[in-house]
Amino acid sequence: MSVNLLTSLKEYDSILINQTASNWQDAVKISCQPLLDKGLISTEYVHAIIQSTIENGPYYILAPFLAMPHAEAGKGVFGNGFSLVVFNKPFYFEADSRPVQILITLAATNSDIHTSVALPKLLPLLKMLQILKRLKTPKVRKKLFHCLKKSIFLNI
């Protein structure tokens, strides 16, 4: 099974821009909200991400400014999808000095989506990091979709 990042973001209207988080837990909750609103996850999944981060650290930081919060596949997940949230300023996880400003939250119903599909195909996003960090205009969604359409990772 495959999950298309662009289709998921557009279908579930799950892009949030210029968000403010008081701490990393708040950022995770904000990034999960579009998935909660669309019924793809339950609050159990949000709590699982936070608990897993407390126990294991922010293992899902992919690069400076970019992280992909997720927890055990299927636990509190009802459908596959993504949310993309850009915060107006970087935040930090406890005991970690890497700044994070963009969260792409993954909801995966099984571990195949999680490990074999989503993670490997999100890596080209790192090439777009500088572009994403600059998308702070009122037309940000349109620009973001334009960038995503031109990127290599549309087959997620």
Model pLDDT, residue 152: 39
Q: Which domains does the chain have, with CATH numbers?
A: 5-147 (3.40.930.10)
Local confidence band at 139 (pLDDT 50, 70, 90 cut-offs): low
Q: From 32, 5, 120, 104, select the one nearest 61 (Cα to Cα).
A: 104
* 87, two tokens: 């915060």
Angle at which helices 24-37 and 43-56 cross, to 10°: 150
> What pTM did the predictor assign?
0.76
Higher pLDDT, 150 or 105: 105
* 9-55 confidence digits (pLDDT tens): 556 577 888 899 999 999 999 999 999 999 999 999 999 999 999 99
Please name every residue paired with 103 in a beta bridge, in sequence order, or none if there are none.
67, 85
Helix (H) or strand (E) holding 89: strand 81-91
Our answer to whether residue 146 is catalytic in this structure is no
Local confidence band at 74 (pLDDT 50, 70, 90 cut-offs): confident
* 103-112 confidence digits (pLDDT tens): 999 888 887 6
Model pLDDT, residue 73: 81
* 112-137 confidence digits (pLDDT tens): 665 555 555 565 555 555 555 555 54
- Catalytic residue, chosen from 47, 70, 114, 146, is 70
Q: From 17, 27, 1, select the one nearest 93 (Cα to Cα).
A: 27
* 4, two tokens: 């298309």
Longest dimension (CA), the chain: 39
Rounded distance, CA 45 to CA 76, Å? 5
